[in-house]
Amino acid sequence: MKIVVIGNGKLGYSLARALAEDGHSVAVVDKNEQALSATLNQIDVAGLVGSGVDYEVLQASGVPEAKVVAAVTQSDEVNIICAIMAKKMGAAHTIARIREPELAKSMVLLRPEMGSGMNVNPELETAEEISRIFRFPSALKVDFFSRGRIEIIEQVIAENSPLAGLRLSDFGARFKARVLVCSVCRGEQVCIPGGDFVLSAGDRISLTGSMRDMNQLFKKIGLSNRKIRSVMIVGGGRVGYYLARILLLAGMDVKILEKDRDRCEALSHLLPKADVVLCDGTAQEALLDEGIAEVDGLAALTGLDEENVIISMFAQSQSVAKVVTKINHITFGGILERAGIDCVVTPHRITTHNVRRYVRALQNSEDSSFETLVSLADGRAEALEFHVGQGFAGNGLPLRTLKLKKNVLVAVILRGGKPVYPTGDDCILPDDTVIFVTTLKNIHEISDVLQ
């Protein structure tokens, strides 16, 4: 698929790299020749120096023939103009990064001009992910399928966890909970485990099951899933604003610490139910004075990764129940885990995943059974959702006899709107929705899961 990415910042680079790795033909447009040259040396994409609102540049980059044009420069206005121009020049689909809340509200008026496509807002998407984590505080990451009816939760096994040393075939009998371990990340290796697999401390696992069974499991292994009622947000930027708005609507108490006076006044006006405090949230004294030891959750959302890391480490030392750290440099992830900071969100990574999911849907034919995907284990595994048609060769066969490819697992079957967490005796039937978890990268149709 031909894709043009306009803008070579963190998001543009992340998008171009991910889409190129997915096998697409990607061209990147940016005005910064030096930065573009560095990108071309690192990933297999084409590049063109120039402005995304220059007709000749768009023409030369292949916009008229492109299946997707993603405008992700730092300017919302430039992105809108790029998307409109690309659509008029013949691009099939457009994506525009729109971050300003006021401008995002007005996008419905421009929808006819931009055609079929999507708008992305890394800050809003990050806030939504953090809010899901606060909803299930024992998890590192929470993803939804089938409009929220099915959840996949990621968790790290602690040194003293009852899960450490457990053979998966003994899981159900030991905990009396119908919970499925979908994937295991151990060091640099990711696998789809079978019944003989033995869990170890330090494993990052993804789990699915009913909320009742997962809550029961977490209780039995000593993980609290205490409901979060109060959250402190350090940093009142866009992510902080969006997160506060979501949490307030969910009935939580929210306190925002922001050191810029003008921004504090703006937030007080936009979020009258939030407690907005003018102070430096990186100072330990300020955090203590504002009650960091009493809140249920903290989100470190300043503009500097280093500040967010320090704030998070101090919050953990004060026994804050759930701490979420925003970082912009993905390469810091392993260092942070070793420092005990395991719940990290990265805006451009979240948006890149959402765009990949959108592109994957476009890649399939109109009668495709593919519906959505979620990345697991830092992108090294995927959960894929398919609708089952009459022609699927696996229909009616017990899962124990179904010849799936290696590293493919049936995680959940949705039948009549209700999830079934299957055993080897269950079958896939026409009109089911099925979620497969796999480390394979070439699963585009449901038939691809079979040998």
- Asked if residue 405 is part of any domain, the answer here is yes
Same domain? For 148 and 84 the reply is: no
- Tell the residue number behind the tokens 């939760």, with chain if given: 153
Same domain? For 184 and 240 the reply is: no
Higher pLDDT, 60 or 368: 60
- Residue 47 sits in a domain whose CATH number is 3.40.50.720
Q: 174, exposed or middle or buried, with CB in 10 Å at 0-12, 13-18, 19+?
A: middle
pLDDT digits (tens, 9 = 90+) for 296-311: 999 999 999 889 999 9
Range of the domain at 36: 2-120
Mean pLDDT of 256-263: 96
- Asked if residue 126 is part of any domain, the answer here is no
Give the pLDDT band of residue 112 (cuts 50, 70, 90). low
DSSP for 34-86, written as a single string: HHHHHHHHHSS-EEEES-TT-HHHHHHHTGGG-SEEEE--S-HHHHHHHHHHH
Give the pLDDT band of residue 216 (cuts 50, 70, 90). confident
Is it the case that residue 238 has pLDDT exceeding 50? yes
pLDDT digits (tens, 9 = 90+) for 148-171: 667 788 888 888 888 999 999 888
Using a cut of 0.85, tell me whether the model's pTM lies above it: no
Poorest-pLDDT segment among 22-31, 103-112, 130-139: 103-112
From CA 309, how far away is CA 403, in angstroms rounded? 46
Question: Comparing C-alpha atoms, which of 299, 333, 312, 377 is closest to residue 131?
Answer: 299
Same domain? For 385 and 316 the reply is: no
Domain final residue, candidates 268, 302, 320: 320
- Supply the pLDDT for residue 247: 96
Domain final residue, candidates 196, 220, 244: 220
- Asked if residue 412 is part of any domain, the answer here is yes
Same domain? For 366 and 294 the reply is: no
Same domain? For 304 and 414 the reply is: no
Same domain? For 174 and 245 the reply is: no
Same domain? For 7 and 111 the reply is: yes
Domain final residue, candidates 320, 347, 364: 320
- Residue 420 sits in a domain whose CATH number is 3.30.70.1450
From CA 350, how far away is CA 328, in angstroms rounded? 11
Is the distance from CB of 126 to CB of 239 less than 8 angstroms? Answer: yes
pLDDT digits (tens, 9 = 90+) for 381-411: 888 888 888 888 989 999 999 999 989 999 9
- Burial letters for 279-293: b for 16+ Cβ neighbours within 10 Å, e otherwise? bebbeeebbeebebe
Same domain? For 32 and 95 the reply is: yes
Is the distance from CB of 215 to CB of 225 less than 8 angstroms? Answer: yes
Is it the case that residue 423 has pLDDT exceeding 80? yes
Same domain? For 168 and 272 the reply is: no
Is it the case that residue 10 has pLDDT exceeding 50? yes
Q: What is the C-alpha R_g of the chain?
A: 23
- Tell the residue number behind the tokens 């997707």, with chain if given: 68
Same domain? For 278 and 371 the reply is: no
Is the distance from CB of 171 to CB of 179 less than 8 angstroms? Answer: yes
- Asked if residue 441 is part of any domain, the answer here is yes
pLDDT digits (tens, 9 = 90+) for 323-339: 999 998 755 555 666 66
- The structural domain count of the chain equals 4
- Asked if residue 329 is part of any domain, the answer here is no
- Asked if residue 296 is part of any domain, the answer here is yes
Mean pLDDT, the chain, rounded, equals: 87
DSSP for 382-418, written as a single string: EEEEEE--TT-TTBT-BGGG--BPTTEEEEEEEETTE
Question: Comparing C-alpha atoms, which of 135, 338, 130, 144 is closest to residue 239?
Answer: 130
Same domain? For 15 and 111 the reply is: yes
- Asked if residue 389 is part of any domain, the answer here is yes
Is it the case that residue 266 has pLDDT exceeding 80? yes
- Asked if residue 213 is part of any domain, the answer here is yes
The bridge status of strand 408-415 relative to strand 418-420 is antiparallel
Same domain? For 73 and 20 the reply is: yes
Residues 6+ apart with CB under 8 A from 177: 209, 213, 214, 216, 217, 220
